Amino acid sequence: MLSLAPRVSAVARSQRQYKTFIMLACFAGSAANKSIPPDKKMVPSERVFSLCHGARLVIKQGDITTEDVDAIVNAANERMLGGGGVDGAIHRAAGGELVRACAAVPEVASGVRCPTGEARITPGFKLKARHVIHTVGPIYENPKYSAPLLASAYRNSLKLALEHGLKSVSFPGISTGVFGYPFDEAAEVALTAVDKALDAAGEGGSVKEVRFVLFNEPLYKTFVETAEERSVETATGAAGPPARTKSSEL
């Protein structure tokens, strides 16, 4: 199991260099339905770490819309009707059926289908992933209030994956774009939440691979550094094909 103690990462300095780019790219994406492009210098390797109960953690830099897994997680908004950044990219890749499926999700309040920290699931449609788990991360303010909501977004996403018997789930760095969550803090919260959720699920939990597919190199490095400093057992290199459920298992 990952041991997750507080710490300050040197990679945090790199985040400040990207802040203006991320904000402009996300706002432009929201206005023109454009996604945040991955850095041109993509990191080819995947880093693989051991989690509890035989599960593994894979961290890579790349495009989450191309993941061939049971489910990818969408960093959505509360309306669930698409937007910029990862949200817009997933909607474009999945096709128009996804927005129609999202529109069919019942509102729990006016204009709110998925409150911050909660999660909803739809089919993946044209994606390689069979499902999309939509979750809403918090806008970063005081970590006292933001951290529990971010942890809840990860926890509820994995809860849905477990309820549907899914084996592999790919996450983006929730709230690390225009919502402004510091990379170091986001990585700590994410890895803590994943580890606790899988530990609570026990040996019988279906999820055996959690993947973080991150859009830029500083974010990728921060997640790797966080996992390295906390992992008991680490492997470096290609992760191999992710675990997937069979149709008959659903």
Sign (positive or negative) of CA dihedral 26, 176, 86, 84: negative
Q: Residues 6 or more apart from 203 whose CB is under 8 A from it? A: 53, 54
CB 244 within 8 Å of CB 128: no
195 is catalytic: no
CB 127 within 8 Å of CB 94: yes
Continuous segment of H or E residues that includes residue 152: helix 143-163
Catalytic residue among 87, 184, 195, 199: 87
CB 203 within 8 Å of CB 11: no
Is residue 78 classed as helix, strand or coil in its secondary structure?
coil
What gap in Å lies between CA 221 and CA 183, rounded to an integer?
A: 10
What gap in Å lies between CA 234 and CA 185, rounded to an integer?
A: 21
Residue 136 has phi, psi (to 5 degrees) of -120, 115
Please list the active-site residues.
87
